[in-house]
Amino acid sequence: MNSNGVIEWAVVESDIGPLLLSATDAGLVSVVFHARPEVREKAVVGQLRTRLGAEPVENPGSARLAEPIRQLAEYFAGSLREFTLDLDWSLTSGFNRQVLRELATGVPYGAVAGYGDLAERVGQPGAAQAVGAAMGSNPLPVVVPCHRVVESDGGLGGFGGGLETKRKLLALEGVLPQPLF
């Protein structure tokens, strides 16, 4: 629960389409792909208000969002390889939070990990499907790089932002060749 009662959010353009960023006093709390108006309404009103029990306020000039916006712009420009942001983990808990924290610290830019590999890293070998569910529920995609988690046979696996978005992020990081067009 967010004690101060305010969540600030803004939509920023990126190479993978509009992203809705929201932050609390604790840090960046969510990143939402494809932030078209109907998605914004659902993400902001539905998820943030309901799950954090606070009132989301649109504030593109927010001091809380300035650094996340700057770092994401540098990431998409190819000049930032590691995010150094305060993160608010309150939209995830338990196993999912454990896996996402391991992903955030243990799978660097330009690298990938398998679902089973991440399960082993958090001491739950055999929990590859649960890791997949954790990736699907990641409230902080791109910053917490669920796009770097792939299938053991080399397949891309699923991705909440869509496979085209996952391909673009992996190409940006040099894991996949850049698309020809």
Any idea which residues carry the catalytic annotation? 146
By C-alpha distance, which of 117, 122, 14, 133 is closest to 68? 14
| SS3 call for 71 | helix
For residues 172 and 181, what is the distance between their CA atoms, to the nearest angstrom?
Answer: 14
In the block, tokens 């699923």 appear at: 158
Element (H, E) at 128: helix 128-136
| Interior/surface letters 123-146, b for 16+ CB within 10 angstroms, e for the rest | ebeebbebbbebbeebbbbbbbbb
Would you tell me the crossing angle of helices 94-106 and 128-136 to the nearest 10 degrees?
80
For residues 97 and 66, what is the distance between their CA atoms, to the nearest angstrom?
Answer: 25
Give the angle 136-141-142 at the CA atoms, nearest 5°: 140
